[in-house]
A and B are shown apart, each in its own frame.
Chain A
């Protein structure tokens, strides 16, 4: 299987990446080649193999439900593009 322009435009939208017409052409070509590489995986029958997510197959730890971090909001918001009254500002989403 290979990518066509429509696929690339759809994936770029899912990934929230603007893509220009010229980029669609180059990206379609390079992604198709990478897909060709990836599809070498299909040569192996893995029906009997359990998927492996992590090298140690470890379960996530639980911790006590208590406050462990100090409030650093002001420090963290100093590097934000736009804030007001301790809130992050984004373009209006509700009319």
Chain B
């Protein structure tokens, strides 16, 4: 049962061969059995089971959609009415959200069950899940290894079959990098596709929610529910949303796949390179045409991102002041002291670092040199992609330079940690859709992710390209030992 995909579970539910209550209880049991992974921050079985009962009624009446009754783990960055919503921070460790994020509202309307809230790097700032106030998540493939981040809890939960699917958010790689490191499928849609309303903001011009699943088909099913224009998000795009499952089965004969030469240079692990080369060979067999492209400003993406993201974060996180919700220091002399103490106690080291960097690059005298320069580079990086897409339909490369690193290995070296997102960050800067799918294993037997990058609003094609690969290979069906 727990090896089944969302699509398969949906068929079982509709055929009355399983009930949502059985499924939900079964997954809740697994979550408690594999508690040591630390994939979840909060569970509310009574609430989940009430949703499951309502879904079963809907199924009985024949009013079910594809996600009705499917338990889905929600990243703890999405506000869900009545649920503890911490964003992995002490600052929000007492915050019971008083409203639903649009993403949550859409899953509720589809009849999905909220299975629990997953662990994550604090305020989504991290690439290993080690910055969480609730402790690190372990990678089910090797519990010495990190699951990646910031959506590490969602990734570990899906990989270990603690949930059939989960949500994540991706500001610089936070869906794709953990998906790669845990051997699952994850897609970051084009900027503006999925509403950010009720999704706790990190860097508003980069943040985007998306599904984390085991197959491209499941990702398409979840994306169908998540996408759509929302007046409550001022940057939501009013673009038609296709049925993402409709084009999965299309042949990819004649598809032009671009390989950016900068993604295959120094810094890419030899074992990862080998896996990606094998995937390219597989795509050739499927009839794709391989072309070389260039993204010459790739090496500037990380410096550019570490100006823009902290700048936006320092401004977004100004709202956490101990006045309206969240943590407030117990003792203080005056208002200013209350702010300073509340924030010093509520935020962890990495969040503070980014607030400080952001405050600095926006401060008088430095704005032009850092912030404006970074925004100019952002355009150069975006122009590189636009030029590359004149020669190809999708871009393919590794998601990460190496497989999952060990817990603790980069914890005290922020710059080394930042470099693990080298291939994912530029996609957020450009606002393009990007995806990671499992493509094999490294020398250490840990999973390797293949990244696919698409043109604006071309998620349907990415999912098609991923699905065709998954029809021809079995990497996405591999499961970590001890969890099946």
B235 is an interface residue with CB less than 8 A from chain A = yes
Interface contact B321-A55, CB-CB below 8 Å:
no
> On chain A, which size bracket covers the interface?
35 or more
Contact string against B for A residues 8-44, beta-carbon threshold 8 Å, 1 for contact and 0 otherwise: 1001111111110000000100110111111111101
Known contacts: A16-B321, A49-B380, A55-B191. The answer to whether A38 contacts B303 by CB under 8 A is: yes
On whether the beta carbons of A52 and B307 are closer than 8 Å, the reply is: no
**Given A15-B355, A31-B356: A53 in contact with B375 (beta carbons within 8 A):** yes
From residue A74, how far is it (CB to closest CB) to chain B in Å? 10
CB of A4 to closest CB in B, whole Å: 13
Pairwise interchain contact B379-A49, C-beta atoms closer than 8 A: yes
On whether the beta carbons of A31 and B324 are closer than 8 Å, the reply is no
By a CB distance below 8 angstroms, the chain A residues around B372 are 51
Chain A min CB distance to B341 (Å): 5
> Which residues of chain B are near A37, meaning CB under 8 Å?
302-303, 306, 415, 418
Cross-chain contact B324 with A40 (CB below 8 angstroms): no
Decide: B323 and A34 in contact? CB cutoff 8 A.
Answer: no
Q: Are B96 and A49 in contact (CB under 8 A)?
A: no
Provide the residues of chain B in CB contact with A85, threshold 8 Å.
Answer: none
Nearest-neighbor residue (CB-CB) of B94 within chain A:
A79
Asked if A55 and B192 sit within 8 Å, CB to CB, the answer is yes
* B298 on the A face (CB < 8 A): no
Q: Is A81's beta carbon under 8 Å from chain B?
A: yes
B343 at the interface (CB under 8 A from A): yes
B405 within 8 A of A: no
Q: Does B26 contact A (CB under 8 A)?
A: no
Contact yes or no, A41 B356, CB < 8 A? no
Partner of A30, one of B99, B314, B414: B414
Q: Mark A75-95, 1 if CB is under 8 A from B, else 0.
A: 110111110000010111100
Q: CB distance B343 to A16 under 8 Å?
A: yes
CA distance A40 to B352 in the complex (A): 23
| Contact across chains for B340 and A38 when beta carbons are under 8 A apart | no
- Chain B residues within 8 Å of A82, by CB: 328
Measured in the bound complex, the distance between the Cα atoms of B97 and A84 in whole Å is 21
Also in contact, A11 and B415, with CB within 8 A (given A16-B339, A63-B231): no
A54 in contact with B235 (CB, 8 Å) = yes
B376 CB contacts on chain A under 8 angstroms: 46, 49-52
Contacts of A40 in B (CB 8 A): 299-300, 303
- Tell me whether A91 and B335 are in contact in the complex, defined as CB-CB below 8 angstroms, given that A17-B343, A38-B303, A38-B307 are known contacts: yes
Which residues of chain A come closer than 8 Å to B352, judged between CB atoms? 17, 27
Contacts of A15 in B (CB 8 A): 314, 343, 355-356, 359
B98 interface hit (Cβ, 8 Å): yes
Q: Which of A18, A41, A56 contacts B373 (CB 8 A)?
A: A41
Q: Cβ of A38 and Cβ of B379 under 8 Å apart?
A: no
Please indicate the chain A residues that have their CB under 8 angstroms from the CB of B337 in the complex: 91
Residue A67 at the B interface, CB < 8 A? no
The docked-state distance in angstroms from the alpha carbon of A12 to that of B380 is: 32
Measured CA separation A63–B88 after assembly (Å): 34
Residues of B within 8 A of A56 (CB): 191-192, 235, 237, 431
Chain A nearest CB: distance from B188 CB in Å? 12
Q: In angstroms, how far is the closest chain A Cβ from the Cβ of B179?
A: 21
Question: What B residues does A79 contact at CB under 8 A?
Answer: 94-96, 98, 325
Query: Is the CB of B441 closer than 8 A to any CB of chain A?
Result: no
Interface positions of B from 415 to 460, Cβ below 8 Å from A: 415, 418, 430-432, 456
Interface residues of B (CB under 8 A from A): 94-96, 98-99, 190-192, 205, 231, 234-235, 237, 297, 299-300, 302-304, 306-307, 314, 318, 321-326, 328, 332-341, 343-344, 347, 352-353, 355-357, 359-361, 363, 369-370, 372-380, 382, 414-415, 418, 430-432, 456
Can you report 21 residue pairs joining A to B where beta carbons are below 8 Å apart? A7-B360, A15-B359, A16-B340, A17-B343, A31-B353, A33-B414, A34-B418, A37-B302, A38-B370, A41-B304, A41-B373, A44-B377, A46-B376, A46-B380, A55-B430, A72-B99, A79-B94, A79-B325, A81-B323, A88-B323, A92-B334
Q: A51-B379, A53-B205, A79-B94 are in contact. List 6 more A-B contacts (CB 8 A).
A: A41-B304, A42-B369, A46-B377, A50-B379, A54-B205, A55-B456
Which 8 A-B pairs have CB atoms at the shortest separation, nearest pair first?
Answer: A55-B431, A51-B375, A18-B344, A46-B376, A52-B379, A81-B328, A49-B376, A55-B191
